[in-house]
Amino acid sequence: MSNAEHDERRSAIIHAVWQVIAHSGMGAVSMRNVAAAADSSVGRVQYWFPSKDELLRASLEEMLSEAARVHSEATEDIDDREALWQLVGHPIPLAESSRAGVSVFHQYVAAAFNHPALARMLAEAKEGEESATSLLLGRVNPGLEDPRATARSLMATADGLSMRVLIGGLSAAEAEQALRTELDRFTTPEKEATTGTARGDHRRKSVVGSTKAPSGDGQGPP
């Protein structure tokens, strides 16, 4: 079997895990259900992933890697302010097509309460995201007193807003506006904010101007 065929078969099984979670919930993940979703056999799934734990670990790892790749490509040629929005805002499912991916990610988070390996992977991913957000905040607003604490607060806000969108408590547009408003508080240098207020200029654009956030959530499909 060539490397390409190897990767293709493994990827099909991982995508099948996401499909099962999206359609039936984390509790429905089993060798039999994943094999059916992948149009494969239980034996073939077990060849690549000997246990359900292996399926969950590998599929979460792939989701996190894919999210990092998508973010890297999306921010390659944009300024720090827009890159900051892309990083902080990605949990909010701004397009209907991204809701499934965000929902699947939250189900991994819930499963991590009783699965130390998943918890460790998610904690490491959040730590990396926090460091990157802190770095961008420091570049956008060099006078910000504690970029790390601010990054943590913004990420928590985004996660909470994302959950409210998923359960129907907020629209994606309302969540986006709330997060952009909060982000503006920390990315407008004090001198600029004071000058704008003194002029009575209430038309200042948000941190990323009129640019819309990408439709993808960055969490990985299914």
For residue range 8-39, what is the model confidence (pLDDT) as tens digits?
A: 889 999 999 999 999 999 999 999 999 999 99
CB under 8 Å, gap of 24 or more: what pairs does 68-72 form? Answer: 70/216, 70/218, 70/220, 71/218
Would you state the pLDDT for residue 2? 64
Within 10 angstroms of residue 130's Cβ, the number of other Cβ atoms is 18
Start-end of H helices in 31-146: 31-37, 42-48, 52-74, 80-89, 96-111, 116-140
0.75 exceeded by pTM:
yes
Q: Which helix (H) or strand (E) holds 215?
A: none
Residues of the chain with pLDDT under 70: 1-4, 190-222
Is the separation of the CB atoms in 71 and 137 below 8 Å?
no
Give the pair of three-digit tokens for residue 48: 């690549």
Among 132, 125, 154, CA closest to 220:
125
Is the separation of the CB atoms in 145 and 96 below 8 Å?
no
Positive or negative, the CA dihedral 48, 54, 58, 63 is: positive
Would you state the pLDDT for residue 206? 36
Would you state the pLDDT for residue 96? 77
Would you state the pLDDT for residue 209? 37
What does the chain come to in residues?
A: 222
**Residue with structure tokens 């407008």?**
188
